[in-house]
A = this chain, B = another copy of it.
């Protein structure tokens, strides 16, 4: 029932999906509204009926992907926290599984980070999202260390920042040269050394 509202939100969702794809392929500025609509199977009429402008779409898309990401994390967390495996496996697993498509996610998030470095409003939104993301990861680290009687000599959040930074840089290298830098190789060779050093 209530087909109208559902229809509306469905087209909105398809437009967002199309925007995600086209933005990943050509970047925010490189993609035209027309491109996005075409990808989603609509015309610009549908677009401007759902979004006020392209800028508004960018923000909405960021919010939507952010929400999905955090939701996905929320779903993964319990399993990772309790189940077997090491602390590192849990954290890296979360980073890898949080987004369905690593390449697309990397392109989009990098694009949005660039955008944020040039735009105060976007920066605010991004900072907040990253904070929530870190919070989840930090919580995971705390739970696992507590459960296994581990003590870290550095604040968990700083360790999380390290893992995120390394993961981002490594992913960039991997996407550029998949053959030369196997996925996760840097993380898996060096992070155990860190953990060994900071845990007691």
Contacts and interface: CB of A to CB of B under 8 A. Distances in A.
Interface of A: 25-30, 103, 106-107, 110-111, 113-114, 116-118, 123, 126-127, 130, 154, 158, 161-162, 164-170, 172-173, 175-177, 181, 186, 189-190, 193-194, 196-198
Number of copies: 2
Contacts of A27: 27-29, 114, 118
Contact of A169 (B123, B158, B166): B166
Given A118-B25, A154-B189, A189-B158, A169 B164 contact: yes
Contact of A117 (B107, B114, B130, B186): B107
A186 B161 contact: yes
A176 B29 contact: no
Contacts of A154: 189
Nearest to A193: B197
A126 B166 contact: no
Contacts of A173: 161, 164-165
Given A116-B176, A165-B166, 19 more contacts: A27-B27, A28-B29, A106-B117, A107-B118, A110-B110, A111-B114, A114-B114, A117-B176, A158-B189, A161-B181, A162-B189, A164-B169, A164-B173, A165-B168, A165-B186, A167-B169, A168-B172, A193-B194, A193-B197
Q: Which of the listed residues A164, A173, A181, A198 has the most CB atoms from chain B within 10 Å of its own CB?
A: A173
A127 B176 contact: yes
A172 B123 CA distance: 12
Closest 5 CB pairs of A and B: A165-B169, A29-B29, A169-B169, A168-B169, A193-B197
A193 B198 contact: yes
A154 to B, nearest CB: 7
A65 B163 CA distance: 30
